Homo-oligomer: A and B are copies of this chain.
């Protein structure tokens, strides 16, 4: 019985196994994903992003609890910053959301930013698809919204919540300006702190400068204290409003199609490299190139040209 069938039968361990197989680049994982694909497209995908220290994990924890109270199953994909040398995620599943650990209606997966070169967004899309096929009705993607990769990942979501906190300083504005454009809902968390009202007013003022046309979604700024569960119900309502708007305006279908196209391109990029790189490692070509570069007999540009023409020079089977 394939892992995909076992996942469709509700076996949680099979899902965890498939996610590991995807990480390890097992060929069989692709077959499982093909089998699961027709069962995807039902989950609501919610992105949560913001700077380190904004309280995103606590917010995700509270949102998870709120959706569980509505009887919905919840998947969480947390993109954790990684130590570049040890390769380990700094935060991890283990310290995340302990109170949901024994709830079979919650499935949590941490993805480390390391080891996904050029492919973190692809990995996230794969994991979201697995959770979607498993029947998770809400899938929450949480990223630290500073790097470009992280922003790209959140753009996979249907609704994106951008979390701020008071007191991050004006210097961070340049970054904020980028994140401003991707938010559907803005949250000022830790709203009990000094300066929360000012942060909310500044955000609202920046949002008002955006050019809009009638029918556009107009993002609001919400106040929360996630650690005390304040403002969460209102946030859940606002997210639901955005979701209705997505469906009514036809935007949901457009996002779904854009997600597939991007996923295709990212899979193609990664698989092409994996196939060709695997090939030249096995046949000794890679070793030759590394040695030739070390002794300056070749350079990276010429070596790539050679490999490309060896592998793609003559299209083999034109369709």
Contact = CB atoms under 8 A, between A and B. Distances in A.
Interface in A131-146: 144, 146
Nearest to A167: B169
A91 interface: yes
Q: How large is the interface on A (under 10, 10 to 19, 20 to 34, 35 or more residues)?
A: 35 or more
Interface in A257-273: 257, 260-261, 263-265, 267-269, 271-273
Contacts of A171: 52-53
Main secondary structure of the interface of A (DSSP, over half): helix
B272 A155 contact: no
B178 A82 contact: yes
A260 B172 contact: no
A319 interface: yes
Nearest to A115: B148
Interface in A96-153: 113-114, 117-120, 144, 146-152
B285 A319 contact: yes
Nearest to A91: B174
A316 B313 contact: yes
Given A289-B264, A305-B30, A81 B313 contact: no
Contacts of A178: 81-84, 90
Contact of A52 (B150, B172, B269, B279): B172
A240 to B, nearest CB: 25
